[in-house]
Amino acid sequence: MRLFISIDLSDEMKNQIIETMHEMKTAGVKGSYVPKQNLHLTLAFIGETDHTAMVKEALSGISYKPFRLSFSELGSFGDLIYIGMKGNQGLSAAVKTVRDALDRSGIKYDTKKFVPHITIIRKSTGAYRNVKAPVGEMMVKKISLMKSEEKAGKRVYTEILSV
C-alpha cells in the first residue's frame, strides 16, 4: 500500500488555492493541476509498504499541540508549482514528532529536508510569476495517515487514520 502522512487543508484554504489555480489557467499556465480533493501538506512520504499496521501503531502514540498554518509564496521545483507554507514552531514540532515516531518504529520514509509546500501543478509550462499567492490560514488539529491509489487513471487519497 502507498502511504503518506499529511495535513488536510480546510475548505476555505482549498477554495483560495482553487482561485489561484484559475488565475494560473487564465495566465496560460498548462500542466497537470491537482484536484481540489487531493490538496494537502505532506509531513512524511512513506511510499509503498506492507507495514500499514506498524505505521498506524507508530502514529497512534503521538501527540502535538494544535498550531496555525498559513500560506506564504508561490514557487517551483523544476516543472512542479507549489504554494509555500509559512514555517512555525508548531509545524516544525509536528513534523519532528511524526518522523521521530516513524524512526523509532523502523519505518522507512523519504528523509529529505522538510520544505512545507502544497503541490498545485505538475509538469507545468508557462509563466506563473505574475500570479499572486493565495492568502489564508487555519488551525491544525488533526494529522492524517493517507492511502494513495490509482483508480481509473486518477490518484485517489483516502484517510485511514487521524491523530
CB 141 within 8 A of CB 75: no
Q: What pLDDT digit, counting tens, does each position of 36-57 carry? A: 999 999 999 999 999 999 999 9
Residue 58, classified by CB atoms within 10 Å of its CB into exposed (0-12), middle (13-18) or buried (19+), is buried
Q: What pLDDT digit, counting tens, does each position of 130-151 carry? A: 999 999 999 999 999 999 999 9
pTM: 0.94
> From CA 13, how far away is CA 90, in angstroms rounded?
18
Question: By three-state DSSP, how is residue 109 classified?
Answer: coil
Domain boundaries, the chain: 2-145
Q: What pLDDT digit, counting tens, does each position of 60-93 carry? A: 989 999 999 999 999 999 999 999 999 899 999 9
CB 6 within 8 A of CB 119: no
> From CA 72, how far away is CA 83, in angstroms rounded?
7
Quick one: 2-145 is in which CATH superfamily?
Cyclic phosphodiesterase (3.90.1140.10)
